[in-house]
Amino acid sequence: MKLTVLGCLGAYPYKNQGTTSYLLQSADFHLLIDVGSATLVKLEEYLDPLALNAVILSHYHHDHIADLGVLQYYWQLHPEKEPGAILPIYGHTKDSFHFNELTIPDVTEGRGYFEAEELKIGPFLITFMETIHPVICYAMRIVEETTGKVFVFTGDYGYLESFVKFAKNADLFLADTYLFAGNERHKAHFTSKEAGELAKAAQVKKLVLTHLPQFGDLSQLKQEAQDAGLPSK
């Protein structure tokens, strides 16, 4: 299992860095997680977008889906697309307007996921947990079947104690860390301190901070997470 960060900022792109998007790969399977601003041009540095096997979305805020429409156009209009190829895009169904936008006939197909059900996408088994956020959003616990390796992505997430169990023993914990210490119990995002504390309590092997702010000293953000829990990246 290999994770490539295509964009790691929250809210809006800044100084050549895009917003939330990650490429998760296992052997020849390529799963795109969220499709924030600048995703498509960054993805082209690593993978032909037509080689994607599936896309999955944590929620429908613009900084997580900004490039989704142009990715759909890429699949619709690129002359090298194989006839009949359809890209599945997984999202929750509690926002019918945005969910319906996932489907373009003969190009992309929206597929719903549900918190109560385990989802299999290629070599990955995925379970979900609804987060605290102004819109409906889901964290994901992704297990690579062949190795048992566990990757947990928080999505956008206000602090919730029960997340410790969801992230337990993850090999990689990718945590929304938009806020510096001192802003704990925010309704939409983790602070650096909370990310570190949760990683430590869940006994994860590696913590990576993401959904980063465009302001402040990011080395301070990292240090605050380390002081609270585990070494972070």
pLDDT at 231 over 70: no
Structure confidence at residue 164 (pLDDT):
97
Distance separating alpha carbons of residues 211 and 201, to the nearest angstrom: 21
231/191: higher pLDDT: 191
Contact predicate 224/190, CB 8 Å: no
Share of the chain above pLDDT 70, in %: 98
| pTM exceeds 0.85 | yes
Q: Which two tokens stand for residue 32?
A: 């795109």
Which pLDDT belongs to residue 186?
Answer: 80
Calculate Rg over the CA atoms of the chain: 17
Mean pLDDT of 118-136: 98
Q: How confident is the model at residue 230 (pLDDT cuts 50, 70, 90)?
A: low
The length of the chain is 233
| pLDDT tens figures, 25-62 | 999 999 999 999 999 999 999 999 999 999 999 999 99
Class of domain 1-115: alpha beta
Every domain of the chain and the residues it spans: 1-115
Residue 122 has pLDDT above 70, yes or no: yes
Q: Is the pLDDT of residue 232 over 70?
A: no
SS3 labels along the chain: CEEEEEECECCCCECCECECEEEEEECCEEEEECCCCCHHHHHCCCCCHHHCCEEECCCCCHHHHCCHHHHHHHHHHCCCCCCCCCEEEEEECCCHHHHHCCCECCCEEEEEECCCCCEEECCEEEEEEECECCCCCEEEEEEECCCCCEEEECCCCECCCCHHHHCCCCCEEEEEEEECCCCCCCCCCEEHHHHHHHHHHHCCCCEEEECECCCCCHHHHHHHHHHHCCCEC
